[in-house]
Chains A and B, each alone.
Chain A
């Protein structure tokens, strides 16, 4: 039996402040992350890219999947809300919730890609596991509609569900030997791990049980307290809400077990040796703080952490200190056209160096607090990443 860790009742479990040791000087550096080793090791069958919002999870997943495919693996990548142009470059024109082959892959491997359709995944699970009449009833229930299309956490839950399905298919049909998973743009990287448990424990929670009681147990179970509670809830939300929820729960009841079981099985799969988590972060305090929480959580849950990708780092191309560059710029005549251009070059450089220093400081801090976590830094490209060539470039940078 797998125990899925519970969160505290009110909000996520996380330390109130950043618990990071001060930098121990410039010598503290993380071991290098061997990305090609990770991709080439056939024992690795699932790679999960997680991290804070906007850091480059989707880009990293697609780049890793492409690189693995071009190194000979048969890969499926599950992306979540990719940028339109990136999706198009992988041939993902419509959201049909099925992996499609990506053309233009070099070598003997293959790459299939898909975009997650959260509502459709939820609907399909209901349809697959409930008798038709009941499924129809559930799909039309207003409470179910709200839950499957807008509940914060449903996307994570359905990403897990889809991962479970893809994995089962890869085992059954042998179509893929590696699944790369992107994670939803949630505010916290931990949501991916916690949402399924949160949702299923709520669906299975005390209040819902209580709502079911009158239809199931003897009437004497309805103590005065329960009566008071249901009365207050109906007064507050209106009796219709209770009726909708009751109808949903009654119809969904037999599906609960299955949902929960699958979520637990997928969670257990994530704890096995064939899985590798890559934590993606930007060299920003917030993103690195999220990465730190995530790393600590993976360790606590014995989940296999492959390493940290620090994406979009600033790398000056010239070696000249920011102070020298700015001092030089101030010596030039702003009214002379080449001199002002050269002053501009020096200022552009100085800004890059300043940003680089700030980023390096943040990365050193992370490394000091997590000395065993391997990492790789991916420079910020001057353009967006929206085609296979761009993904290849990111793949090369990831491989160091």
Chain B
């Protein structure tokens, strides 16, 4: 078992303590963040999985009751490769909402008694967490910062080897993380400003990396490319691209080419279908050939998206599309795939 906070050089991201997961809406950010947290929790590590969008996505994925603003254990990590029991770590989860984060922040730094309630009554909490630009994001990332840096201070809190953040989608990620420039022009001084500075120094450091989830379709890949460019512009560290929901590779290149061209040998196929013990009818063969053509056509599109991803020049990881959908077992399966590919 590796000591807390030490780096593990057997993965692609040694020394990274904060894994931010973004991607176009609906591509699988939450699924991938959860799988990555599980993957990181092998080898006796303790991992915190955070969400910030108030959707209770983690609770749904792990099939537990809605999460409060408190860290709850949601799963055991997978057993390590060596398979000794007791070596697996744990995944804890935290749903961060800006109101609670603000109240916690205020009580930590100001010991507000009456003022806390007053602030709420006068609508300040609402104001600060919804329309005061950037404040909401500083509060959310500030809490993540606290969880990552906890190892160095407090005694009463749980310490984590890694934190995974199920972040807002690519379209908003640079803005979300670049809390400094978001506050710029607004809060030029004050404690929130210094909080933002702290967060920024963590996010720009080697302790952090930002992974992007995509599927092999035009818009998600475009968003990934745009997102990476924007992260670079903001000086934020770009991690890997997780290609999610990859279709099965049931047909090889030659078969797909023939399927597209309509030149698969029909008679030979009928003979082999009989060998396979299938009741052969012309409709069945037509149907299978049509499915093969559509599959090949989709795969060709996917291959062109793959080429665009390869040109981005970042490490990529593949996760297959689970035909029965995602459940807890599926998350462990995806976690194992990420471990195999060296992401964790």
Contact = CB atoms under 8 A, between A and B. Distances in A.
Interface of A: 9-12, 16, 52-55, 83-85, 142-143, 146-147, 150-152, 185, 187-188, 198-199, 202-203, 205-208, 210, 225-226, 228-229, 232-238, 240-241, 244-245, 282, 284-287, 316-320, 324-325, 327-329, 331-332, 338-349, 351-352, 354-355, 358, 382-384, 386
Interface string B256-275: 00000000110011001101
A246 to B, nearest CB: 12
Contacts of B205: none
B118 A318 contact: no
Interface in B226-256: 247-248, 250-252, 255
Dominant secondary structure at the B interface: helix
Contacts of B273: 328, 342
Best-buried of B25, B182, B272 by chain A (most CB within 10 Å): B272
Closest 9 CB pairs of A and B: A318-B287, A53-B25, A146-B133, A328-B276, A206-B123, A54-B26, A207-B123, A317-B287, A238-B190
Contact of A9 (B126, B135, B272, B289): B126
Given A232-B115, A384-B301, A238 B323 contact: no
A205 B187 contact: no
A342 B269 contact: yes
Interface stretch (B9-17, B38-46, B53-61, B330-338): B53-61
Given A341-B269, A344-B250, A236 B298 contact: no
B130 A198 contact: yes
Contacts of B308: none
A237 B255 contact: no
B71 interface: no
Given A147-B131, A236-B128, A237-B192, A244 B272 contact: no
A342 to B, nearest CB: 4
Given A146-B182, A185-B171, 9 more contacts: A203-B131, A207-B122, A228-B118, A236-B128, A236-B192, A244-B186, A339-B275, A347-B248, A348-B295
Contacts of B252: 340-341, 344
Contact of B175 (A16, A150, A198, A238): A150
10 contacts: A85-B218, A202-B127, A232-B119, A233-B124, A237-B186, A238-B188, A238-B192, A286-B26, A318-B287, A342-B276
A318 B124 contact: no
Interface size range on B against A? 35 or more
Contacts of A225: 118, 122
A83 B219 contact: yes
B7 to A, nearest CB: 35
A264 B19 CA distance: 43
Nearest to B134: A146
B218 A83 contact: yes
A210 B127 CA distance: 12
Given A208-B127, A338-B269, A354 B323 contact: yes
B286 interface: yes
A346 B288 contact: yes
A187 B25 contact: yes
A285 B134 CA distance: 32
Given A187-B53, A320-B284, A338-B269, A202 B291 contact: no
Interface string B278-294: 10000110111111111
B193 interface: yes
B185 interface: yes
B81 interface: no
B132 A241 contact: yes
A229 B56 CA distance: 32
B79 interface: no
A268 to B, nearest CB: 25
Contacts of A187: 25, 53, 55
Interface string B306-344: 000000000000000001110000000000000000000
A320 B135 CA distance: 57
B329 to A, nearest CB: 15
A229 B276 contact: no
A348 B291 contact: yes
B141 interface: no
Contacts of A208: 123, 127
Contact of A210 (B122, B171, B186, B283): B122
